[in-house]
Amino acid sequence: MKDSYGREINYIRISLTDRCNLRCIYCMPEGVELVPREEILREQEILEIAGAAARVGISHVKLTGGEPLVRRCCRRLIREMKQVPGIETVTLTTNGVLLKEHLESLKESGIDGINVSLDTADPDLYRKITGGGDVSVVTDAIRASVDAGIRTKINAVALSEENETLLEFARDYPVDVRFIEIMPIGYGTRFPQTDNRKILETIRKNHPDIEKDPSKHGFGPAVYYQIPGFKGAVGFISAIHGKFCGSCNRVRLTSMGYLKTCLCYEDGTDLRKIVRDENLTQQEKEERLAEAIREAILRKPEAHCFDDPVDITEKHLMASIGG
Ligand code: SAM
Ligand code: SF4
């Protein structure tokens, strides 16, 4: 469906859990309080909400977290989600720690693509950023995912100037490496803003023949470049220095069942209240969910306010929102 600014809203990010097996310093550092388990949506509730979202025109789903693969139902959920009428693609964003061991069943479940978050390929820096992670587990998983024939992308929050080691993936594999500007949400507020234009400049120094790639690589806001001889592209997701709100196509469902219409603001609607309402018949529930989603989309703000951070109302952590 179209929102009140004429944008086609067809994509939802669904956070399956706020739990994670890493502790990235800008997302969920050590000591963060977790949401009580009973507040997190159950598998069936997620499917009911996805069904209602599909009825109002959502066709693409990204499963996220926390770390979606720490949730045991994740792979079954992908299979079930793919059966929901109207849902065309189901993809996953993961830190990659558990990816290799689950690859086969992810493939069997019909996953349409996997984004792996990898901010650096340097083992020491990776350990520091992720609170103790082993980068070789993730880089192995990325190679295995490509070998399994799954469309695989790397997402990097570029905290460091060094990105050549990440670019090696785009050189050697058909993997798009995308740089994401850090957003002032949750612990992200404690870090200086990153600027993708500077990253492009640095890359250009080593690869002067890098050029814009006008082709579409997915459903998101990334702007792509090609380096001659590279198998994958280099992408930039520049929420701050390349505001793309005019073409925003998405909403977000938090692990607690709250539908958010913009990262920047708390505004949205509590779908858990509806999906858990025992006084409603199944049909009433389906209608109420669809109506609540439709109304929320019509209230979706025109643009984020990261350039004027006093107006940011979102207080939750990225790990419960899903990035
Ligand atoms: N654990 C999974 C992962 O790391 O891909 C899924 C959840 S994680 C919250 C999703 C994405 O959000 C990751 O790529 C992460 O780097 C990104 N992220 C977390 N905090 C962020 C922030 N403040 N600004 C920009 N991206 C952020
Ligand atoms: Fe976990 Fe992903 Fe957040 Fe890192 S970015 S702490 S992997 S949820």
Residues in contact with ligand 2 (CB, 6 Å cut-off):
20, 22-24, 27-28, 65-67, 95, 117, 318-319
Whose Cα sits closest to atom 20 in ligand 1? 27
Instruction: Provide the pLDDT for residue 216.
Output: 85
Instruction: Provide the pLDDT for residue 172.
Output: 97
272 backbone dihedrals φ, ψ, rounded to 5°:
-65, -35
Give residue 98's pLDDT band: very low, low, confident or very high (50, 70, 90): very high
- Tell me, yes or no, whether 115 lies in a domain: yes
pTM of the predicted model as reported, rounded to 2 decimal places? 0.96
Strand-pair category, 60-64 with 89-94? parallel
> In this structure, which amino acid lies at residue 294?
R
Instruction: Provide the pLDDT for residue 74.
Output: 95
pLDDT digits (tens, 9 = 90+) for 283-296: 999 999 999 999 99
- Tell me, yes or no, whether 32 lies in a domain: yes
CA distance 88 to 112: 9
- Tell me, yes or no, whether 220 lies in a domain: yes
Q: How many domains is the chain built from?
A: 1
pLDDT digits (tens, 9 = 90+) for 174-206: 999 999 999 988 899 899 888 999 999 999 999
pLDDT of 310 > 80? The answer is: no
Question: How many residues are there in the chain?
Answer: 323
Query: Mean pLDDT throughout 17-39?
Result: 95
pLDDT of 307 > 90? The answer is: no
188 lines ligand 1 (CB under 6 A): yes
Average pLDDT, the chain: 94
Give residue 162's pLDDT band: very low, low, confident or very high (50, 70, 90): confident
Do residues 96 and 138 lie in contact, with contact meaning Cβ atoms separated by under 8 Å?
A: yes
Neighbours of 8 (CB within 10 A): 12
- Tell me, yes or no, whether 6 lies in a domain: no
Do residues 223 and 242 lie in contact, with contact meaning Cβ atoms separated by under 8 Å?
A: yes
Whose Cα sits closest to atom 4 in ligand 2? 24
What DSSP designation does 2 have? Answer: B
pLDDT of 308 > 80? The answer is: no
- Tell me, yes or no, whether 5 lies in a domain: no
Q: For a substitution probing ligand 1, which of 126, 142, 157 has the most ligand atoms within 8 Å of its CB?
A: 157
- Tell me, yes or no, whether 70 lies in a domain: yes
128 backbone dihedrals φ, ψ, rounded to 5°:
-65, -45
Do residues 16 and 68 lie in contact, with contact meaning Cβ atoms separated by under 8 Å?
A: yes
Instruction: Provide the pLDDT for residue 114.
Output: 98
Give residue 242's pLDDT band: very low, low, confident or very high (50, 70, 90): confident
Query: Mean pLDDT throughout 132-136?
Result: 98
Region for residue 86 given its phi and psi (left: phi exceeds 0; alpha: psi -120 to 50; beta: otherwise): left
Region for residue 55 given its phi and psi (left: phi exceeds 0; alpha: psi -120 to 50; beta: otherwise): alpha
Neighbours of 87 (CB within 10 A): 19
* DSSP-assigned beta bridge partners for residue 157: 180
Ligand nearest to the CA of 183: 1
Q: For a substitution probing ligand 2, which of 71, 117, 180 has the most ligand atoms within 8 Å of its CB?
A: 117
Give residue 305's pLDDT band: very low, low, confident or very high (50, 70, 90): confident
By residue range, what is the domain housing residue 82? 11-321
- Tell me, yes or no, whether 2 lies in a domain: no
The enclosing domain of 187 has a CATH number of 3.20.20.70
Query: Mean pLDDT throughout 76-87?
Result: 97
- Tell me, yes or no, whether 4 lies in a domain: no
Dihedral angle computed from the Cα positions of residues 236, 141, 75 and 254, in that order, rounded to the nearest 10 degrees: -40
pLDDT of 265 > 80? The answer is: yes
